[in-house]
Structure 1
């Protein structure tokens, strides 16, 4: 197993005793049980739709399925804890029952949702807020002893688009991760994945700057996740829509892989798997 050191990136995740190796990049399929996610084709409602999408992801090669019940698009409406739980727990239970081999990630910033989801069969917590929106999150992750995806963001989904000033974006992101990783390590959290947070409290040029310098985050010796799928950083620059942003997504996913991403979080699993295969072939030549 790879050691977690400054010079040797940690590539394994411990999922309830099962080791997952990320030496070869993996794909995480986005499954939203929300009515208002920015890309409408990612919205699933009802058990049959959830299971159908999960099966499609797994057959296409997804290593992970990321389930979200609270839209994090800029300006999204707040969702109560009760509503988030009522959406996400049935989805977790259904997928876990029908596809027990599926590795489920939970997209939430609430510790209670994280705890209940892991107990229902999920494996990973994906927190867009880096523990800032629920002070109990870090301790909960430590107690659950599960991998944690740590994302950079300022504010919350309702106001993050208002706080987008940076003196030095890369240094601020590095400082943010340094402090958060230290807090998590002090609590005993072993498996941490870094997500630069493309589009979260960032203008489009900020996201491209981060993508261009993503390899600089390798200083932490941790695996990295890239989530650019069909985002406005693509379709607004190209003058199109999220529905027509697959080609742009594949381009940026390819760049992210070349910059060191270990996980691609996407709406389109098949195409992301193709990116991984072609990048691998290039690097072997």
Structure 2
């Protein structure tokens, strides 16, 4: 699709490499799904999300998660104004289109859970009153590897609300050479808005109409049920995983200009959608396995239609 290519080209004026991350963010925007980016500091996670917000023309807010952050710092609070002798609602940064939750695993679980209602229901509750969030509403969170000091595991309930988890690796040597060249000249700051919020909402509507055959829906369910039966997993994917895999496959088909989903679309999106939704057994962790290796086993064994 032309608008997708134009979007990627403009972002690439700022970001070098990291194709998987760029594609995943576009999938998230097209399906209004939340995305979790995990990687070491300095891999352009925050810069990428800020660039997408400007290029797409969405309202954008950034919250730096820290150990002393409070839930009211995110969703807002009911504030008393003594001059007027009345309470008023101070809306937090969550009232936006694109919320960047930077280093989300540096805040304790109570603060992380403040996002749960917003991510699922697209609304927040302040002092017993519910407020709808703008459309689209997408949370794009970054986290450093959980082995680092001062980080907390995200609760399973919150992880399940992220459509995808993308694990970032270092750039290639050629890509880092290009980064060095750009740093000498100065990174681009004059990037243009190439699509509008209305364009994005229209594309989202088109994505929802992408055809997927019943055989492919059953293929998705075969993958999901295989995660629940695998001996190396304590728990497999939730039903939300099958819904998100279907949505992501449709968005992937739209990105390549097709009006129907193929098995390849499902295979390409399976690991990003499911890797954070499966819980490994202690024995599997001790033997050096990770969720990607187990998902590779499952995807190899499940018959493709």
Shared topology, TM-score over 0.5?
no
TM-score (norm 2): 0.29
Structure showing greater radius of gyration is 2
TM-score (norm 1): 0.31
